[in-house]
Amino acid sequence: MKIFRNFDVSASALTAERLRMDIISSNVANVDTTRTTGGGPYRRKIVVFEVGKEGGVRVNRIQEDSSTPSRLIYQPEHPDANAEGWVEYPNVILVNEMVDMLAATRAYEANVTALNATKTMMSSALNIGR
């Protein structure tokens, strides 16, 4: 039924923003990971959204951030240091991750508010008929 479409749109956005927050948390947790199973340092992940079939939003893909370079830090005693003593650290910048987390949290809160407003409007519409 089309009457519940608003719920579906808000629910899809809540699901997408939750995944975005999970990916950001993973980025923060791996800020110092210099060695992965694929070799090299951890690469920052980004969630890419797209418009869903029935409106709303869905996750298109999760991709690695190739626009931000890795950080090189001189630590000759580190086990992952190259021949010159430089260690390649992930391209995760904590300040950017915190800003992204705040934006994702605000978007999540906005969708919860929209969901509650829809619920209130539907309840009020049902009460009119009494």
Determine contact, residues 57/47, Cβ cutoff 8 Å: no
Could you give the percent of the chain with pLDDT greater than 70? 98
* Cα 71 from Cα 82, distance rounded (Å): 13
Question: 20: domain range?
Answer: 2-120
At 59 the three-state DSSP class reads strand
Q: Is residue 127 a part of any domain in this protein?
A: no
* Cα 80 from Cα 18, distance rounded (Å): 34
* Cα 92 from Cα 98, distance rounded (Å): 11
What single-letter DSSP state applies at residue 92? Answer: -
pLDDT at 58 over 60: yes
Q: Is residue 102 a part of any domain in this protein?
A: yes
Q: Is residue 126 a part of any domain in this protein?
A: no
**Mean pLDDT computed over 62-79:** 94
* Cα 56 from Cα 12, distance rounded (Å): 6
Q: Is residue 72 a part of any domain in this protein?
A: yes
Determine contact, residues 44/65, Cβ cutoff 8 Å: yes
CA 45 to chain centre: 8
| Global pTM value | 0.86
Q: Is residue 33 a part of any domain in this protein?
A: yes
pLDDT in tens, 87-116: 999 999 999 999 999 999 999 999 999 999
**What average pLDDT does the chain have?**
92
Q: Which two tokens stand for residue 119?
A: 């619920």
Q: Is residue 106 a part of any domain in this protein?
A: yes
Q: Is residue 22 a part of any domain in this protein?
A: yes
Q: Is residue 53 a part of any domain in this protein?
A: yes
Closest residue by Cα to residue 46 from 28, 29, 31, 65: 65
Total domains, the chain: 1
What single-letter DSSP state applies at residue 94? Answer: H
CA 43 to chain centre: 14
